[in-house]
C-alpha cells in the first residue's frame, strides 16, 4: 500500500505550503487538488461559460483535460499540454474554482483522477474532501484550520507582498464568502472527517505547523 496522507481545511489555513514542506521532508509527492478545480475554472472562463451554471459546466467537463505531472518533484497542472500552473492563482480563477467545485459531475471526474494517483504513488493530498471522500481510508487524516481573522491576515500580507493592496476587510469578506460556499454546498462540503486530527495553526508559526503535522504522521508511519 502506498503512503497516503489526507489534509483538509478552509482557504488560507496554510494547507498548500505546510503540505509542500511535509511532503518534501517525507520524500513523497504532494498533490494540491485545489489546483485541479482551479484549472477547470480557468478552462470554463476561457470557453466563455459561467462557472456558476451547472448545466453548462456539465456539458463541457468532458472536454476539459486536466492533468497533473511532477517536474523535479513539484506539481505542475495542465490543460491538455498547456502548463497553467502560474495562471490559476488569480482571484477570478479562485472564485470560478469555488463555483465549479459545487457540481457533482466536476467532483466525480476530479475525485476519480485523484484516487487513481493515490493508489499508485506515495502521496500527501490536500483539499476539502480528501479525508471524507477521496481517501476515506487514509491512515493519516488531518484537518488544518485557523480563525477566519488570522487566515485573512495571512492572505492580506501575502497580497501586499505581491503588490496587491486590497484592504483587509475586503480580504476577510471574500474569505468568509468562500468558506460559506465550500462548507455549505450540497455535494461533499468541506468538513472535518470524524477520524481526522485537528491542527489549529492560529497560534503556530510555519515551522511549528509543519512539526505538528509531522508528529501526527510519525505516529502512524514512524519517523
Ligand atoms: O485550495 P484552493 O483554494 O486552491 O481550492 C480552490 C477551490 O476548489 C476551493 O474554493 C474549493 C475547491 N476545492 C474543492 O472543492 N475540493 C478540493 N478537494 C479542493 C478544492
User: Strand, helix or coil at 54?
Assistant: helix
* Intervals of the chain under pLDDT 70: 223
Residue nearest to atom 20 of ligand 1 (CA): 34
Residues 6+ apart with CB under 8 A from 82: none
Q: How far is 163 from 170, CA to CA, in rounded Å?
A: 16
| Mutation choice for ligand 1 from 68, 101, 130, CB with most ligand atoms inside 8 A | 101
- pLDDT confidence of residue 182: 87
- pTM, full prediction: 0.94
User: Which of ligand 1's atoms lies nearest the C-alpha of 35?
Assistant: 4
101 lines ligand 1 (CB under 6 A): yes
CA distance 169 to 175: 10
Sign of CA dihedral 42, 189, 204, 24: negative
CA distances from 32 to 1, 60, 223 (A): 21, 23, 23
pLDDT in tens, 160-205: 999 999 999 999 999 999 899 889 989 889 999 999 999 999 999 9
Nearest to 175 by CA among 143, 213, 204, 146: 146
Write out the three cell numbers for 195: 477520524
pLDDT of residue 124: 98
From the centroid of its chain, how far is CA 156? 19
CB of 107 closer than 6 angstroms to any ligand 1 atom = no
Q: Dihedral (C-alpha) 171, 177, 182, 183: value to the nearest 10 degrees? A: 120
Strands of the sheet containing 82-83, edge to edge, are 66-71, 74-79, 82-83
Report the distance separating Cα 190 and Cα 178, nearest Å: 11
Q: What is the pLDDT, as a whole number, of residue 201?
A: 96
Q: What's the gap between Cα 214 and its chain centre?
A: 19
Q: Would you say the CB of residue 171 lies under 6 angstroms from ligand 1?
A: no
Domains of the chain with bracketed CATH: 1-14+123-218 (3.40.50.300), 29-121 (3.40.50.300)
Which of 182, 190, 191 is the best mutation target for the ligand 1 pocket, counting ligand atoms within 8 Å of the beta carbon and taking the most?
182
41 ligand 1 Cβ < 6 A: no
Strands 82-83 and 74-79: antiparallel
Pick from 178, 192, 219: which is nearest to 37 by CA? 178
129 lines ligand 1 (CB under 6 A): yes
- For the Cβ of 10 lying below 6 angstroms from any atom of ligand 1, the answer is no
Instruction: List for the chain the helix, strand, coil content (%; round to 5).
Output: 50, 15, 30
Looking at residue 154, what is its pLDDT? 93
Tell how far the Cα of 148 is from the centroid of ligand 1, in angstroms: 17
Is ligand 1 within 6 A of the CB of residue 128? yes
Amino acid at each position: 500500500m502506498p503512503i497516503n496522507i489526507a489534509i483538509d481545511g478552509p482557504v488560507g489555513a496554510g494547507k498548500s505550503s505546510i503540505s509542500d514542506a511535509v511532503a518534501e521532508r517525507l520524500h513523497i509527492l504532494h498533490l494540491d487538488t485545489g489546483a485541479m478545480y482551479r484549472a477547470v475554472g480557468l478552462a470554463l472562463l476561457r470557453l466563455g461559460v459561467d462557472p456558476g451554471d451547472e448545466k453548462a459546466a456539465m456539458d463541457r467537463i468532458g472536454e476539459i483535460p486536466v492533468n497533473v505531472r511532477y517536474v523535479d518533484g513539484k506539481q505542475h497542472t495542465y490543460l491538455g499540454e498547456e502548463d497553467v500552473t502560474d495562471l490559476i492563482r488569480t482571484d477570478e480563477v479562485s472564485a470560478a474554482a469555488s463555483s465549479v467545485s459545487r457540481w457533482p459531475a466536476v467532483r466525480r471526474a476530479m475525485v476519480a483522477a485523484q484516487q487513481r494517483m493515490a493508489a499508485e504513488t506515495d502521496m500527501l493530498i490536500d483539499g476539502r474532501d480528501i479525508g471524507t471522500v477521496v481517501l476515506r481510508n487514509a491512515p493519516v487524516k488531518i484537518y488544518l484550520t485557523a480563525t477566519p481573522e488570522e487566515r485573512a491576515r495571512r492572505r492580506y500580507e501575502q497580497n501586499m507582498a505581491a503588490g496587491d493592496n486590497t484592504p483587509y476587510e475586503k480580504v476577510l469578506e471574500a474569505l468568509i464568502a468562500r468558506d460559506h460556499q465550500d462548507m455549505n454546498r450540497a455535494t461533499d462540503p468541506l468538513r472535518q472527517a470524524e477520524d481526522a486530527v485537528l491542527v489549529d495553526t492560529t497560534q503556530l508559526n510555519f515551522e511549528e505547523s509543519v512539526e505538528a503535522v509531522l508528529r501526527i504522521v510519525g505516529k502512524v508511519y514512524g519517523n
